[in-house]
């Protein structure tokens, strides 16, 4: 903020305070509500004391907010706050039993916020005084946010893992984890797991039950993640778990068995990773559904081996580039007999995609959060942090990754 260049953003507050003081002096001069006599307080400031002091700046989040009456009692206290976006809200608080003090309900102040305190008190002789003060809290130089999946009000598969990726490294993981809760109805045990200092995932012990309603609450506003880095998010995200669908890809048999709510609904011929490019083993979760996408080998370490601009019915399974997708360029006899891909799982399709093909049929019946498990591949197991691969960890190992153990 530049100094000496104008009245400043608090000029209106200062003028209000000056007018309030002038009004009190005028009332005192007329003998109405004044403080005449040697034993009376000399000003409202003597009767009503506010902490932090009027005009205080850069008050920390753990700074003390209090209103007290000296030689009298408080009749009413009203505190409001205005954040950087201009949103104004009342600050809940409580008067003490003897009405000599007021304290806020929250233990911490909101950062980057202007507080306004309005208090009225009466002294031992029944004479009233009013006081109006303002102060502003510390404005952090750096803020952090978490980008999360799934989205609000979506319906997902039973293998969905709640995942947050932060835009800054998190030094105090316990503080951030405390600021996030994931609950379910019907209730089930849910635990958190950190992958490094930027990613935090939540999952239950086993797959969600169909019909479960899950709520994630982000209470990260003003949470200190690292020196000088504070959170900004305060929101609630809800999603619903749909039917159960688990698809098992057998890389050796070149088939995918689709099981819906415990009943086998289809066995589809597939092609998986060729020798040297085998598909990951293990449980993977559908992260993204794309009606059509471009697949360029140079983006995943395969140089110019392929570049297909119009891959249909693409379902992302890992962040490293594994998809289950439609394949129109391989000969029909490839599916069910030969592994020919660079690590993806291919289903027969036509150029432009069709709902009448195996790929189109499966795509139309798949939700984000559905599980695809690959078995009998010669590749190692997919890493738990490669996509939503956390189901490949044992429950004790998963729980050990929480910062609140």
* Cα distance between residue 223 and residue 244, in whole Å: 37
DSSP annotation of 178 reads H
Q: For domain 245-392, which CATH number applies: 3.40.50.1970, 2.120.10.70, 3.40.30.10, 2.40.440.10?
A: 2.40.440.10
Strands across the sheet with 307-316, in order? 282-285, 371-375, 245-250, 255-260, 263-271, 345-348, 323-327, 307-316, 288-296
Burial class (CB in 10 A: 0-12, 13-18, 19+), 405: exposed
Categorize the per-residue pLDDT at 88 as very low, low, confident or very high, splitting at 50, 70 and 90: very high
Q: What is the mean pLDDT of residues 100-106?
A: 97
Categorize the per-residue pLDDT at 87 as very low, low, confident or very high, splitting at 50, 70 and 90: confident
Model confidence over 208-264: pLDDT tens digits? Answer: 999 999 999 999 999 999 999 999 999 999 999 999 999 999 999 999 999 999 999
* Cα distance between residue 376 and residue 195, in whole Å: 27
Concatenated DSSP letters of 107-121: SSPPSSEEEEEEEEE
Q: Which residues are catalytic?
A: 325, 344
Q: What is the mean pLDDT of residues 304-310?
A: 78
Q: What is the DSSP pairing of strand 307-316 with strand 288-296? A: antiparallel
Strands across the sheet with 229-231, in order? 142-144, 229-231, 224-226
CATH 2.60.40.3710 region(s) of the chain? 142-242
Model confidence over 264-302: pLDDT tens digits? Answer: 999 999 999 999 999 999 999 999 999 999 988 666 666
Helix (H, G, I), strand (E, B) or coil at 399: helix
Concatenated DSSP letters of 323-345: EEEEESSS-GGGTTT---BSS-E
CATH 2.40.440.10 region(s) of the chain? 245-392
Q: What is the mean pLDDT of residues 44-66?
A: 94
Q: What is the mean pLDDT of residues 324-333?
A: 96
Model confidence over 377-404: pLDDT tens digits? Answer: 999 999 999 999 999 999 999 999 999 9
* Cα distance between residue 179 and residue 231, in whole Å: 10
CATH 2.60.40.3780 region(s) of the chain? 11-136
Percentage of the chain lying above the pLDDT 90 cut: 82
Categorize the per-residue pLDDT at 44 as very low, low, confident or very high, splitting at 50, 70 and 90: confident
Residue 16 has pLDDT above 90, yes or no: no
Categorize the per-residue pLDDT at 43 as very low, low, confident or very high, splitting at 50, 70 and 90: confident
**Mean of per-residue pLDDT scores for the chain:** 89
Residue 34 has pLDDT above 50, yes or no: no
* Cα distance between residue 404 and residue 399, in whole Å: 10
Categorize the per-residue pLDDT at 405 as very low, low, confident or very high, splitting at 50, 70 and 90: confident
Q: Domain spanning 11-136: which CATH class is it, in words?
A: mainly beta
Element (DSSP H or E) covering residue 283: strand 282-285
Model confidence over 51-61: pLDDT tens digits? Answer: 999 999 999 99
Residue 184 has pLDDT above 60, yes or no: yes
Is CATH 3.50.50.60 correct for 142-242? no
């Amino acid at each position: 903020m530049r100094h000496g260049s104008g009245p400043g953003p608090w000029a209106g507050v200062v003028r209000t305070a000056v007018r309030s003081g002038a009004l009190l002096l005028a009332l005192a001069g007329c003998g109405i509500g004044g403080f005449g006599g040697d034993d009376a307080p000399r000003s409202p400031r003597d009767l009503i004391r506010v902490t932090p002091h009027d005009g205080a700046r850069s008050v920390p989040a753990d700074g003390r907010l209090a209103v007290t009456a000296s030689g009298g009692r408080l009749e009413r206290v009203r505190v409001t706050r205005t954040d950087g976006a201009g949103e104004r809200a009342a600050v809940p608080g409580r008067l003490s039993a003897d009405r000599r003090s007021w304290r806020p309900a929250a233990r911490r102040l909101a950062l980057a916020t202007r507080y306004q305190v309005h208090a009225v008190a009466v002294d031992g002789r029944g004479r009233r005084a009013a006081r109006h003060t303002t102060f502003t809290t510390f404005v952090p130089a750096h803020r952090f946010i978490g980008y999360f999946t799934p989205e609000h009000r979506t319906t997902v598969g039973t293998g969905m893992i709640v995942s947050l990726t932060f835009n800054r490294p998190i030094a105090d993981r316990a503080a951030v984890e405390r600021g996030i809760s994931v609950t379910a109805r019907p209730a089930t045990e849910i635990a958190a797991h950190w992958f490094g200092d930027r990613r935090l995932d939540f999952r239950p012990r086993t797959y969600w039950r169909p019909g479960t309603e899950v709520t994630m609450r982000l209470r990260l506003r003003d949470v200190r993640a690292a020196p000088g880095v504070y959170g900004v998010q305060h929101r609630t995200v809800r999603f619903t778990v749909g039917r159960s669908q688990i698809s098992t890809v057998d890389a050796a048999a070149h088939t995918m068995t689709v099981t819906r709510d415990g009943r086998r609904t289809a066995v589809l011929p597939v092609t998986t990773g060729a020798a040297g490019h085998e598909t990951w083993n293990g449980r993977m979760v559908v992260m993204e559904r794309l009606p059509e996408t471009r697949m360029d080998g140079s983006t995943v370490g395969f140089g110019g081996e392929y570049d297909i601009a119009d891959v249909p019915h693409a379902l992302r399974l890992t962040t490293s580039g594994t998809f289950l997708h439609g394949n129109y360029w391989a000969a029909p006899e490839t599916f069910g007999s030969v592994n020919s891909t660079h690590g993806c799982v291919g289903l027969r399709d036509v150029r432009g995609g069709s709902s009448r093909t195996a790929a189109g049929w499966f795509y139309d019946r798949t939700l984000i959060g559905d599980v695809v498990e690959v078995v009998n591949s010669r590749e190692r197991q997919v890493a738990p942090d490669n996509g939503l691969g956390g189901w490949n960890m044992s429950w004790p190992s998963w729980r050990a990754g929480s910062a609140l153990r």
